[in-house]
A = this chain, B = another copy of it.
């Protein structure tokens, strides 16, 4: 079969794309390796050879797919860049099953240190760093006060959104993102 000779990286990419598509349209319900095989054209044997578990496959497919949706712009205007990234993030969490996928992964990770490590090294750590880097560029440009803690700003923007995602006392939406940003920008510039 021609398929069997495809380079591993090409197979990986197709499988991850299929996983991301499935998770962003249907969430974790009915997410099985059988269906990933059918959707991607890879065999179950190949999939099990490339990923240690269904959870690891879901995690990587999800994060690979949302990464371009959560790109961090640098137009030179910090507030504008934070706003467009926060809106994209909130839209992803509220307008697709991504919010439910993340709630499930974060809940599962509380009792599973291996999954928590994977979550942090694959997703939350690198995403936190992108935000911190953008804030540091703004600090170097004199747009942010010298004594601001960029890491804490991440918790006060994205962390505040995760708080409403996980404990939904009040809704998460773009109006909320704008309010968070208004409070933060006044405090850090």
* Residues on A facing B (Cβ under 8 Å): 103-104, 106-108, 110-111, 116, 119-120, 124-125, 128, 147-149, 151-153, 155-156, 158-164, 166-170, 176, 179-180, 182-188
User: Chain B's nearest CB lies how many Å from the CB of A94?
Assistant: 15
Most buried by B among A155, A161, A186: A155
Additional 4 contacts, C-beta under 8 A, given A106-B110, A160-B160: A119-B167, A162-B167, A186-B186, A186-B188
- Pair B111/A169 contact, Cβ less than 8 Å: no
Per DSSP, are chain A's interface residues mostly helix, strand or loop, or mixed?
A: helix
| B-chain residues with CB within 8 Å of residue A119 when the two chains form the complex | 167
Closest to A103 in B: B110
Known pairs A183-B148, A183-B187; A156 contacts B166 (CB<8 A): no
**Measured CA separation A168–B107 after assembly (Å):** 13
**Measured CA separation A83–B187 after assembly (Å):** 17
Closest to A158 in B: B163
| B-chain residues with CB within 8 Å of residue A167 when the two chains form the complex | 106, 119-120, 124, 162
**Measured CA separation A158–B166 after assembly (Å):** 13
- Pair B125/A183 contact, Cβ less than 8 Å: no
- Pair B152/A179 contact, Cβ less than 8 Å: yes
